[in-house]
Amino acid sequence: MRCSSGCNVPVALQSEGLNLLFLRSFRRFRQWRVLCRSLSMESQDSNNAPATIMVVDDDRDLLWLLCRQLGKAGLEVECHASAPSVALLERVRPAVLFLDVEIGQENGEEVCGRIKASPSGPDLPVILISSLPQDSLKAAAERCGANGYLAKPFDMQGMARLAKYYVNARAGH
C-alpha cells in the first residue's frame, strides 16, 4: 500500500469475496499513520500533487482496509480515525470525503453539517458511510447535505470507482 506521500506499507491480507481476513498490528498501523501524515504534510507543498481522497472511520480495521483498497486502485488516500477539522480539510482539500456516520463519540451527520456550513464546505463532496439501515442513512445524508451515502457492507471496487469519479470531476475530465 502507498500512503498519500508514497511510503510503502507492509501488509498481510487474504480476501475471499466480502469475507476478509487480514493480519496487522495496532503498532504498525499507528507507525504507518504517523509516518504517512508527516510525509504527506511535506508533500502538500507541491502544486501539482494528485487529488487526495480522505476516509474517516473509527473502526481501525475497516479504515485500514478501505485505505489499502483505495491505494491499490491508484488513489492518494489520507486516513483518519476521528473527525477532521475544517482547517485540516481546507489544508488537504480532498477530492471527496468518505465519512462514517458513527465516529466513536462524534456524530458524522453533525460533522458533515459543520463541513457543509464552512466557507469551502459546499464544494467538498461528502459521502456518508455506515452500517445503519439504508433508509436511515439516506435520511441522514439528506439532513446534513451530504452528496451521497454507502451502506456497509459495500463493494470496495464501487467505492474506488466513486472516488475516481470525484477525482476526475475535480480535474475537469
Residues near 97 by beta carbon (within 8 Å), at least 6 away in sequence: 54, 55, 56, 84, 89, 115, 124, 125, 126, 127
> pLDDT tens-digit profile of 97-134?
999 999 888 899 999 999 999 988 888 999 999 999 99
29 has a pLDDT exceeding 70: no
- Quote the cell numbers at residue 156: 470496495
| Residue 108 contacts residue 143 (beta carbons within 8 Å) | no
More confident residue, 27 or 66: 66
Give the C-alpha separation, 84 to 115, whole Å.
9
> pLDDT tens-digit profile of 58-103?
999 999 999 999 999 999 999 999 999 989 998 999 999 999 999 8
CA angle 27, 98, 67 (to 5 degrees): 35
> Domain residue spans in the chain?
25-42+51-171
CATH 3.30.830.10 at 25-42+51-171, yes or no: no
Q: What is the pTM of this model?
A: 0.72
pLDDT bin (cut points 50, 70, 90) of residue 173 is low
pLDDT bin (cut points 50, 70, 90) of residue 49 is low
Q: Report the percentage of the chain scoring pLDDT > 90.
A: 53
